[in-house]
């Protein structure tokens, strides 16, 4: 059994980065999903609704991000310092918002021009607290970045093979591992072995 791939997604919903090694923090891999693009309602934008996100390359740069896309000049985005946080949500049906810092109008305009819609880029300054500003009642103490639910998403190659076997039997096309956007991919373990690993150290 071996760890065959390590991935982070600096901007939620955008292209992944591949790593040989990665630091682990209480809220997941270092640099994973600390940034997110949101719509006018503060809801995270996904590739399902905005396919142009596929063309956005975001890489760590001097503590912030470097944004690249074909046909656009590169843009360096510094990590936001200070400023008023805004309430954002990773999903439209998620009631509990998260306070995040806006990256600024330059980043918003650059990404908006790429996507063809009004958006904002935000940064999660405190991934250890998922509560709206001033709302202590909903302070759960969860340590999660902009990931959908958990600090780390782990998948095994055998489980994907099993899933694709079922899809083939049903006459469906196979799905790639990238569809699940995992952080860690393990080879050499039996299918569904990861179900018994959850919560273990």
Residue 54 has pLDDT above 80, yes or no: yes
Residue whose C-alpha is closest to residue 86's, from 32, 116, 123, 58? 123
Give the tokens for residue 23.
Answer: 């630091």
Distances from the Cα of 26 to the Cαs of 12, 39, 59, 60, in angstroms?
Answer: 18, 28, 21, 19
**Could you give the CA distance from residue 199 to residue 152 in angstroms, rounded to a whole number?**
11
Residue 12 has pLDDT above 60, yes or no: yes
Find which of 82-86, 135-139, 164-168 is predicted with most confidence, using mean pLDDT.
Answer: 164-168
Residues in the chain: 201
The C-alpha angle with vertex 148 and arms to 21 and 47, in degrees rounded to 5, equals: 90
pTM over 0.75: yes
In the chain, % of residues over pLDDT 70: 89
Residue whose C-alpha is closest to residue 77's, from 85, 87, 66? 66
Residue 18 has pLDDT above 70, yes or no: yes
Report yes or no: 122 and 41 within 8 Å, Cβ to Cβ.
Answer: no
Report yes or no: 102 and 116 within 8 Å, Cβ to Cβ.
Answer: no
User: Which of 77 and 54 is assigned the larger pLDDT?
Assistant: 77
Residue 25 three-state SS? strand
């Amino acid at each position: 059994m071996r760890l065959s791939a390590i991935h982070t997604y600096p901007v939620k919903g955008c292209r992944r980065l591949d790593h040989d090694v990665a630091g682990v923090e209480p809220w997941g891999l270092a640099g994973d999903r600390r940034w997110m693009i949101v719509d006018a309602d503060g809801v995270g934008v996904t590739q399902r609704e905005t396919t142009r996100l596929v063309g956005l390359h975001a890489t760590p740069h001097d503590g912030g991000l470097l944004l690249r896309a074909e046909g656009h000049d590169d843009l360096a985005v510094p990590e936001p310092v200070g400023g008023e946080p805004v309430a954002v949500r990773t999903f439209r049906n998620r009631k509990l918002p998260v306070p995040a810092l806006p990256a600024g109008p330059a980043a918003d305009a650059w990404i908006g021009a790429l996507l063809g819609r009004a958006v904002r880029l935000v940064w999660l300054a405190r991934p250890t607290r998922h509560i709206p500003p001033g709302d202590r009642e909903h302070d759960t103490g969860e340590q999660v970045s902009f990931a959908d639910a958990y600090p780390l998403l782990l998948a095994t190659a055998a489980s994907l093979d099993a899933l694709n076997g079922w899809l083939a039997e049903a006459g469906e096309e196979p799905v790639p591992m990238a569809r699940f956007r995992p952080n860690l991919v393990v080879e050499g373990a039996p299918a569904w072995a990861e179900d018994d690993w959850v919560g273990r150290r």
